[in-house]
Structure 1
Amino acid sequence: MAAEAVQELTELDKNIVRALQGEFPLVAEPYKTLAEQVGVSEEIFMERVKAMQAEKKIRKMGAVLCHREVGFKANVLVAWVVPAARLDEIAQQMAASPSVTHCYDRNTAPGWPYNLYTMVHGRSREECEQVVRDLGAHCQVSEHAMLYSKHEWKKTAMKYFCE
């Protein structure tokens, strides 16, 4: 069975990737604006994006919300003790909360029994604490540790084709 030939990215594809990893235009037709920056029509731009996704050259695209700038001044990493048999079920329930931005499991360690972690954002510590109480009650888990952020480090993402 022959291996599939990997097709190299064209200069157009690289230009599209460069455009997508920059600031996303906050306009009615953002992809049209990005296409204009690249020098192609919106149709060609979107065809290439979809093709690169289908070819697994682009795996995901997402927004980074600067949560403090939109009023979410408090955030807390909550480490939960969750029964292993219910880990997937509880993780799905917690991840469904609009106040939870991250949800993942980790191995426990001696003296550290926590196996599920959620990042909760709120407008205040009190709001975060209420969200945690509500999540615990809803999921029927009570043992947890709350680790508030003291400093926010600069968020950066990988940048490709910036030679």
Structure 2
Amino acid sequence: PQRRAPAVPAADRPLAALVEQGLPLVARPYDLWARELGREPEAVLATLGGWLIDGTLKRFGAIVRHHELGFAANAMAVFDVPDTEVDARGEALAQVPGVTLAYRRARGEGWPFNLYCMVHGRDREAVHAVLERAAVSAGLQSVPRSVLFSCRRFKQTGASRFGAPVLESAHAHA
């Protein structure tokens, strides 16, 4: 059984709220957080390090706004891979340049696919080229697959449990 991470103490909830908002795009993001919280950068880093050790924080993720970078064609490719091979094929798929995400999912009723990967490209032809290269590289060229192109964008956000903190700097800009 997986152990539960300890609860975030009330004193650390403002830091948790900042983590949920994502790293600020500055040279020293932890220093900025420390200033906003009235703490030393070393204390912020020590708290984050403790959270990583005890499982409170698993990782920092990134949301890439690919449309703004000129990548207008986006596709999720799905593959029907034998269960005994899916991990190895997925690892190989994840190594292919141009594959931005690869993961395993359980098959659903009427949905035989268990390996997924995301590819972003400037146009559909570029996406198909990456997918063909990826399929060959990962040994997936002969398995059933489908390519699902995005036709609509939704706002991507991370989980939010702590809400936005009320900080001095927030009031200074109001």
Q: Give TM class, smaller chain.
A: 0.7 to 0.9
- Residue 162 of structure 1: CA displacement? 2.3
The Cα offsets for residues 12-59 of structure 1, whole Å up to 9 and x where unpaired, read as 311111111225222211111111111111001101111122222222
Is there any run of 5+ residues in structure 1 with no aligned partner, and where?
Answer: none
Secondary structure, aligned partner of 1:137:
helix
Aligned to 1:94: 93
Q: Which amino acid aligns with 1:118?
A: C
Match runs of 1:15-94 below 5 Å: 15-94=14-93
* Distance in 2 between residues matched to 1:7 and 1:108, nearest whole Å: 34
* Distance in 2 between residues matched to 1:8 and 1:150, nearest whole Å: 40
Aligned to 1:107: 107
The Cα offsets for residues 109-141 of structure 1, whole Å up to 9 and x where unpaired, read as 45x443321111112211100001101222232
> What TM-score, normalized by structure 1, do the two folds share?
0.84
Q: Does 1:137 align with 2:148?
A: no
Structure with the bigger RCO (C-alpha within 8 Å, sep 6+) is 2
Identity of aligned residues (%): 28
User: Is contact 1:20-1:34 (8 Å) kept?
Assistant: no
User: Is contact 1:19-1:37 (8 Å) kept?
Assistant: no
Distance 1:131 1:39, change over 3 A: same
Is there any run of 5+ residues in structure 2 with no aligned partner, and where?
Answer: 165-174
Q: Which amino acid aligns with 1:103?
A: A
Distance 1:42 1:144, change over 3 A: same
Aligned to 2:10: 11
Q: Which amino acid aligns with 1:148?
A: F
> What TM-score, normalized by structure 2, do the two folds share?
0.79
Q: Which amino acid aligns with 1:160?
A: R
Distance 1:41 1:124, change over 3 A: same
- Residue 11 of structure 1: CA displacement? 3.3
- Residue 97 of structure 1: CA displacement? 2.2
* Distance in 2 between residues matched to 1:55 and 1:139, nearest whole Å: 35
User: Is contact 1:19-1:38 (8 Å) kept?
Assistant: no
